[in-house]
Amino acid sequence: MIEKGETGLPVRYDPLLIEEAVFLALRGHPDAKRYHQKRDRLYEISDPEERERSFQNLHQAWFSRLGLASQIEKAVAERHQLNSTVKTCVIARATSKKEEGAELFVNPDEGLSGKERRNVRILICPESFLESPPLLLTFLRHELQHITDMLDPGFGYNPALPAVEGGPTYDRLLQNRYCVLWDATIDGRMVRRGWAPESIRAERLNDFAQAFPMLGDETGQLFGRFFDQEPHTHAKLIAFARDPRTALAGSPEGPHPGGRCSLCRFPTYVFEPNPECLPAEVISQICQDFPQWRSDHGLCEQCADLYKGRTQFENAQFPF
Amino acid sequence: MSQVYNWHLGRKMDYPFEAAYPKRQFAFVFNINRCIACQTCTMACKSTWTFSKGQEHMWWANVETKPYGGYPQFWDMKILKLLEEADPDGQRWTDKPAGNSKAPYGRFDGQTIFEARKMLKPGSSRVLGYLPTDEEWNFPNIYEDNPVGKKGVPNQFDQTGVELPVHKTWFFYLARICNHCTYPACLAACPRKAIYKRPEDGIVLIDQKECRGYRKCVEACPYKKAMYRGNTRVTEKCIACYPRVEGKDPESGGQPMETRCMAACIGQMRMQGLVKMSQDGIWAEDRHNPLYYLVHVAKVALPLYPQLGTQPNGYYIPPRWVPRDYLRQMFGPGVDGAIERYAYPDRELLAVLQLFRRSNLIIFRYEIKEGPKIYEGTLRGHKITLYNDTVIAYGQNGKEIFRTTVEEPIYVRSAQHANSI
Ligand code: SF4
Ligand code: SF4
Ligand code: SF4
Ligand SMILES: [Zn+2]
């Protein structure tokens, strides 16, 4: 790892990332020949450790010379909050665009101070250094906002999302919705600081609409609460991700589209329209299984069908 | 630029070096119809040559599901697209496949990767190519078994049985290694002349001491079979298991032996040999060499993307069930004839097809001893007659390696072991 950054948060670079970024940046570059002349000679150093060191030094020198570090340095320097809360920031090589992003690692050793325990790792593809500059800077600013939020006591981040009724599929759904909301709050802040173009709003709104299809006409207005307003807390984002209606209305749970059937506990958009009008026999069948159930708790159409069917079956006359 | 004769293209083409041909050429025939994508070949190579640190993403031998799969991802689409940009609408063949071995597939009038002048800026590369990203190298078997569905009907397969000649829902397995090309793009691109082609067997090797990791070969090889290794900072590629081909494997008794990936083939779809070259770059006539027979006489085995221009030495018997336009793009204009002859094989072809994987020694010559007629009938309107001929394989030293028959021998177990394996 190669250290950089004279003041503030120390930034360490994965030599593999540096080497690859320099290699790509120099393809077709007028200085490529000079670089290769220097580099070619290093292959002849017989001591493997010395050779490795020499390669790393050369790549590091050209990394700076080509100005490849500038966007990273800028993005990190903007986050002076991190100086007092994080030990180092490590920039390493991502093997795919999907893998790119920032993560906060916390050492479980409680003997260390809070700052000593925390490290930030940012994964970047070497190709990303060559994209038109604002792209990498925008990406880094967004990622570092996640880290800043995580470290902000006001935000109250908790890495373990609450368990959801319904199993792993719903865990993933919750996680996805939570990310959509958090990203909306971050990009909203970025636009207000002039760090992201206005057009990003439409992208986040699109993500939001896909993650919360049940909001219908209110989608745009509700999206604004996340994108256009601040501050936000982790707890409120989670609450909305779990159950947007309840979170908004603060109302008690009742049958509402997207809510859970009080019997089978599966989320549903199709509740039995008038549960109080079900035949008495059906209601009594339900109450045999669910003694606490009242018709205003509602039930899904499938459950209603099941109990209607069961009553019919019990009343049926079989010829045998 | 000098001019060299490329018989795959039926014409001369530009190449950065003067032509020079080996005495014999490492070559192989893969019968796609028989590959089951078991990846035994892939693992045979990996466990022999690329199991070390820094080689994790390196697969000199690989098997990909076509059309969507590829290692690196979309390698063929990407290079074909670049060529199309270089020569819009010009990548075409003229003339019909003919009998002569100087132009068996007609003439290719488009541009090869050495000729795409519009895209080759002076001072940069000598060869049209591109450098794949890490991501493209990372998933060697991506889209395994993903078929192409019916045209215009997403997520729907044919509900009922289908019949040849082509299936509407289809995929196939393309096994690939370095083609030890006659006009290697990797060699042409290397600024340090670290890549060479051996005069004795045409095997293309990278001199590990000379390579300085410029990756020009990685960029230039249209088949993407030169691979950079990060921890040693040099590029590596398939070495055609040259110690085996040289007869240095202890098992070989000093005779040339087929490579690891060939010998391991479960589907028995691979045969490798050393074909005789004549000094104009054409294969010298060698009527009873099985590879010569399959490529030049029966013409059932075709080069992979001949239009790229490297004159690759891997030949493929094309899959019968795949739409022909796709196959013509991949194997050139010889496809229709090759499939026709493979689907209704004549007496000699049927015998030669029995030679695949009966031994690990390289076959230099075969001989057929005629046997009795065992079947007569019609297949999709074609008259078919089968003879139980015996085919005999001979090695480099002229000694018989094995003999086998067209009809598979049936072994009857003794009653004592009738139900055991
Ligand atoms: S397939 Fe590629 S690596 Fe192999 S000889 Fe041809 S150009 Fe070189
Ligand atoms: S010929 Fe040998 S080195 Fe080349 S792919 Fe096959 S097993 Fe690997
Ligand atoms: S071993 Fe043979 S059958 Fe198996 S994947 Fe390789 S080429 Fe195909
Ligand atoms: Zn229910």
Instruction: Give contacts of A97 with chain B, Cβ < 8 Å.
Output: 135
More confident residue, A248 or B381: B381
Nearest ligand 2 atom to alpha carbon B61: 5
Q: How far is the CA of B185 from the centre of ligand 1 (A)?
A: 6
d(CA B8, CA B107): 8
- A283: which DSSP letter? H
Report pLDDT for B165. 84
ipTM of the shown complex: 0.88
Domain around A281: 254-320
Residue B23 one-letter amino acid: K
- Kindly state the tokens that stand for B212: 């300085």
Q: In sequence order, which ranges of A193-233 are alpha helices (DSSP H)? A: 200-211, 219-227
CB contact under 8 A, A95 and B138: yes
Q: Is B263 in the pocket of ligand 2 (CB under 6 A)?
A: no
Q: How far is B380 from chain A (nearest CA, A)?
A: 49
Residue range A108-161, pLDDT digits in tens:
888 888 889 999 999 999 999 988 766 899 999 999 999 999 999 999 999 888
Q: From the CA of B42, give the closest atom in ligand 3.
A: 6
Please check whether residues A222 and A278 belong to one and the same domain: no
Q: What is the pLDDT of residue B122?
A: 60
Domains and CATH numbers, chain B: 2-143+169-342 (3.30.70.20), 347-405 (no CATH)
Q: Is B177 touching ligand 3 by the criterion CB < 6 Å?
A: no
Q: Do A125 and B135 touch (CB under 8 A)?
A: yes
Confidence of residue B421 (pLDDT cuts 50, 70, 90): low
Among B124, B135, B215, select the one facing A95 at the smallest CB separation. B135
Q: Do A13 and A95 sit in the same domain of this protein?
A: yes
Of A125-134, B77-86, B120-129, B259-268, least confident by mean pLDDT is B120-129
> Is residue A140 domain-resident?
no
Of the listed ranges A2-6, B198-202, B278-282, B387-391, the one predicted with least confidence: A2-6
The domain boundary, picked from A200, A223, A247, lies at A247
E strands in B142-185 = 172-176
pLDDT at residue number B124: 60
Residues A226 and A277 grouped into a single domain? no
B35-72 confidence digits (pLDDT tens): 999 999 999 999 999 999 999 999 999 999 999 999 99
Residue nearest to atom 8 of ligand 2 (CA): B45
Please name the residue ranges forming H helices in chain A. Answer: 15-25, 32-42, 48-65, 70-77, 81-85, 114-117, 134-151, 168-192, 200-211, 219-227, 234-242, 244-249, 280-289, 301-315
| Diameter of chain B measured on Cα atoms | 77
Mean pLDDT is lowest, of A198-202, A243-247, B326-330, for A243-247
3-state secondary structure of B297: helix
Is residue A156 one of the residues assigned to a domain? no
CB B70 within 8 A of CB B80: no
Of A95 and B415, which is predicted with more confidence?
Answer: A95
Are residues A172 and A62 part of one domain? no
Give the model confidence (pLDDT) of B150-197 as tens digits: 778 787 888 777 778 888 899 999 999 999 999 999 999 999 999 999
pLDDT at residue A1 in the model: 59
Q: What angle do the packed helices A32-42 and A48-65 form, to 10 degrees?
A: 170
Q: Are B215 and B224 in contact (CB under 8 A)?
A: no
Centroid of chain to Cα B43: 18
pLDDT tens, position by position, A182-237: 999 999 999 999 999 999 999 999 999 999 998 888 899 999 999 999 899 999 99
- Give A294's pLDDT tier (boundaries 50, 70, 90): confident
Give the residue with greater pLDDT, A296 vs B7: B7
A240 and A273 share a domain?
no
pTM: predicted TM-score of the whole model, two decimal places: 0.85
Minimum Cα–Cα distance from A27: chain B residue: B124
Q: How many CB atoms lie within 10 A of CB B53?
A: 9
Ligand 2 contacts CB of residue B240 (under 6 A)? yes
- How many CB atoms within 10 Å of residue B298? 21
Structure tokens at B335: 């496809």
Q: Do residues A173 and A122 both lie within one domain?
A: no
Give B96 Cα–ligand 3 centroid separation in angstroms.
Answer: 33
Residue B60: CB within 6 Å of ligand 2?
yes
| Residue B216 CA to its chain's centroid (Å) | 23
Q: What is the pLDDT of residue B150?
A: 79
Q: Say if residue A239 is in the same domain as residue A258.
A: no
Domain boundary among the residues A132, A159, A182 is at A132
**Model pLDDT, residue B159:** 78
Q: How many Cβ atoms sit within 10 Å of the Cβ of residue A249?
A: 10
Atom of ligand 2 nearest to the CA of B260: 7
**Final residue belonging to a domain, choices A87, A111, A132:** A132
Distance CA B394, CA B364 (A): 6
Residues 6+ apart with CB under 8 A from A59: A15, A18, A19, A22
Six token digits for residue A283: 């209601």
If asked whether residues A181 and A273 sit together in one domain, one would say: no
**Does residue B203 have a pLDDT over 90?**
yes
Nearest Cα of chain A lies from the Cα of B125 at a distance, in angstroms, of 9
For tokens 């046997």, the residue is B371
Q: What is the pLDDT confidence band of residue A22, given thresholds at 50, 70 and 90?
A: very high
pLDDT at B346: 94
Average pLDDT over residues B198-220: 97
Domain total of chain A? 3
* pLDDT beyond 60 at A2: no
Q: Give me the residue from B135, B212, B214 closest to A96, CB to CB.
A: B135
Binding site membership of B37 for ligand 3 (Cβ less than 6 Å) = yes
A97, part of any domain: yes
Element spanning A258, H or E: none
